[in-house]
Amino acid sequence: MEHKIRVLISEEDVNKKINEVAARISKDYEGKEVHLICILKGGVFFTCELAKRLTIPVSLDFMSVSSYGAGTQSSGVVKIIKDLDEPLEGKHVLIVEDIIDSGRTLAYLIEILAKRGPKDIRLCTLLDKPERRVKKQVKVDYTCFTIPDEFVVGYGLDYDQKYRNLPYIGVVEHNS
């Protein structure tokens, strides 16, 4: 389908906000070590930018789950494609996501990761679309931007696997 990308949040604004959120996290976790769990693939750009700015000790692990097909609608089915390499026992876990939409992915993840004995689990997301939430119990601890119900790309987010590399957040606009 023909479409174009409209800038929603500029690279400069994203950078500024990540600085702020990283400072908050560093303060909240002072004296502790944080274990970041990057949710692939969308969370990878945000995780790297966030991790570089944290002043507390950081360890990193990656998990890949799928909740979407090739389209723009959540299927409600969450599948683990790649599990974590490290155990979570006794760790201060911070899940890092690109976007929280229906909340289905995170509701499921929190449920399974909580059983692995972490000291605590918090959530950090680059974007939040609260209007679309189905799983109301999902509580987000750190949100960079709350956005309206529009399909966005860039900074890790894709449309059919494209545009993840854009350094800003853009909205996909279909030509009619």
Residues catalogued as catalytic: 101
The reply on whether position 100 binds ligand IMP by CB under 6 A is yes
Q: Which stretch binds ligand IMP (CB under 6 A): 7-15, 16-24, 91-99, 116-124?
A: 91-99
CA distance 47 to 164: 13
List the one residue out of 99, 90, 86 whose CA is nearest residue 41.
Answer: 99
In Å, the largest CA–CA distance within the chain is: 54
* Structure letter (DSSP) for residue 130: G
Beta strands in the chain (DSSP E): 3-9, 34-40, 58-68, 74-82, 92-100, 120-128, 142-146, 152-153, 169-174
The reply on whether position 42 binds Mg ion by CB under 5 A is yes
The reply on whether position 99 binds ligand IMP by CB under 6 A is yes
Minimum distance of ligand IMP from residue 23's CB (angstroms): 24
Residues in CB range of 89: below 8 A, 6 or more apart: 116, 117, 118
The reply on whether position 128 binds ligand IMP by CB under 6 A is no
The site string for ligand IMP over 4-43 (x = CB under 6 A, - otherwise) reads: --------------------------------------x-
The reply on whether position 102 binds ligand IMP by CB under 6 A is yes
Residue in the structure block whose two tokens are 């949100």: 143
Q: Which stretch binds Mg ion (CB under 5 A): 42-50, 55-63, 84-92, 115-123?
A: 42-50
Interacting residues with ligand IMP (CB under 6 A): 42, 67-68, 74, 97-105, 151-153, 157
